[in-house]
Amino acid sequence: MSARVLLVEDSPSISGALKILLESGGFDVTLASNAAEASAWKGPDRADVMILDLGLPDADGLTVLSSLDAKGLKPATTFAMTGSDDAATIERCLAAGCNDVLIKPVPIQQLLRIVTEAVA
């Protein structure tokens, strides 16, 4: 069974490119373009990895973590993606339960390596 990745990104061009990249790496990718779609994840099980954009149109991306956790579906590993590399943003992400923070733009080979290592 392929590892499941929940990709939460509101930009169709970015999410489309990342979906192609991750699927080429053998991952089963589900896209969500906002917090409501991501929070509606039903599984059947939790995602192995979530790549979570912080700047979503309907909510702060970190609300997705608490929503999924409340349903017992918090992904095993969550990477926040943001364009802000300030210490306060990084600390807020880690405190919310993210495993790491990726600063945009993330090189595609680095992203594929990080996700692959997370499920190994």
Number of domains in the chain: 1
Q: Which residues of 16-42 are buried (b: 16+ CB within 10 A; e: fewer)?
A: eebbebbeebebebbbbbbbebbbebe
Going by C-alpha positions, the residue among 54, 97, 60, 102 that lies closest to residue 76 is: 97
pLDDT at 1: 65
Kindly report, residue by residue over 86-113, the tens digit of the pLDDT.
999 999 999 999 999 999 999 999 999 9
pLDDT at 43: 72
Whether the pLDDT of residue 18 is over 70: the answer is: yes
CATH of the domain at 92: 3.40.50.2300
| Nearby residues of 95 by Cβ (< 8 Å), 6 or more positions away | none
Query: Collapsing DSSP states into helix, strand and coil, what is residue 36?
Result: helix
**Average pLDDT, stretch 6-15?**
96
Kindly report, residue by residue over 25-64, the tens digit of the pLDDT.
999 999 999 999 999 988 778 899 999 999 999 999 999 9
- Domain that includes residue 62, residue range: 4-119
Q: Which residues of 65-83 are buried (b: 16+ CB within 10 A; e: fewer)?
A: bebbeeeebbbebbbbbbe
